[in-house]
Chain A
Amino acid sequence: MMRNLLVRGMLVGVVAGLLAWAFAWVFGEPEVRHAITFEEAHSAHDHNPAAMPGMDMGGHDHGDESEPVSRGVQSTVGLLTGVGVYGIAIGGLFALVFALAYGRLGPLGARATAGVLGLVGFVAVVLVPFLKYPAQPPAVGDPDTITERTVQYFGLIAVSIVAAVAAAVVARRLVPRLGTANAILASVGGYIVVMALIALALPSPETVPEGFDATVLWRFRIASLGVQAVIWSTFGLLFGVVAAKVVERPRDVALAA
């Protein structure tokens, strides 16, 4: 049963990756192109004033002939690989969490369980960390702080997941005392307070270079959030449909007998 669920999770991940790829191509790539145009103009004029003409001293330039991967590959096959592999990985994890949540969230069936997990997963894994450390287009973000920013971002995701799981456990315990609706209300409120305090305590090393178009930054970030929304809503809506055939079958057989 578990093997079957994981395979189905990863297959839904393939679908999610393909949908996210189409979304990212339409809404994200134009902004990535704008950002790279800015980055190239910016680094040519400001970053290396001492560099000799024709020499690229910057560690990271796009579209350069010496780059191992061309822009054409990055924006198509590379983009598909990135979101596709991410979709498959999230699909496997989604199936695991589903296996633990199904039958433990009151009377929720497979589809409702997947729907709740899709919504909670998007909020806890993507939206809340994004509010503190939003997606950065090319040219935004200091390469010297990449290690700190990566540790902070992954760390905040980990903390947010722990807080969300804790909120779910607390909600289950509170149901007998407060009733279902109030228990959910109290635990969601607790999650928000905890995450707001943690976000307040963490550093914000944001560096948007001067002259970077605010509209491009806004559109890139909304597109990025949209890519993730496509992925998580695919899991929320589709995984329950394919998982129901696995987890609800034994009971159906029992009923028929």
Chain B
Amino acid sequence: MATAAVPTPTSAPVPVAIPVREVLPWAAFMGFLALFLIYFVGAEQGAFAIFSGNGVHEFVHDGRHLLAFPCH
């Protein structure tokens, strides 16, 4: 058959890992950004506060409850 040498569509490519040193700088950047965002949704003006008042707390109030974070 002429098609014998062509890889069949079902043969999955072998996964090649991304080198850790390529991931690390992005991990530092993304990790910091993500934890910062999660802090604002999950904890700001609840247990801890960067800004005074309760505007952030009240705005994300329902999301905080329904995402299972302790709200108040």
Contact = CB atoms under 8 A, between A and B. Distances in A.
The main secondary structure of chain A at its interface with chain B is helix
B37 A88 contact: yes
Contact of A1 (B22, B31, B69): B22
A130 B33 CA distance: 24
Interface in A121-160: 126, 129-130, 133-138, 141, 143, 146-147, 149-151, 153-154
A81 interface: yes
B16 A85 contact: no
B71 A251 contact: no
Nearest to B12: A109
A201 interface: no
Contacts, number: 182
A253 to B, nearest CB: 10
Interface residues of A, number: 71
B23 A28 contact: no
Interface in B35-61: 35, 37-38, 40-43, 46-48, 53-55, 58-61
B48 to A, nearest CB: 8
A247 B18 contact: yes
Nearest to A246: B18
A46 interface: no
A75 B62 contact: yes
B39 to A, nearest CB: 9
Given A28-B66, A29-B62, A126-B68, A2 B18 contact: yes
Given A86-B67, A135-B68, 12 more contacts: A68-B58, A69-B59, A85-B37, A86-B38, A89-B34, A93-B34, A102-B18, A103-B15, A138-B65, A143-B72, A146-B46, A251-B15
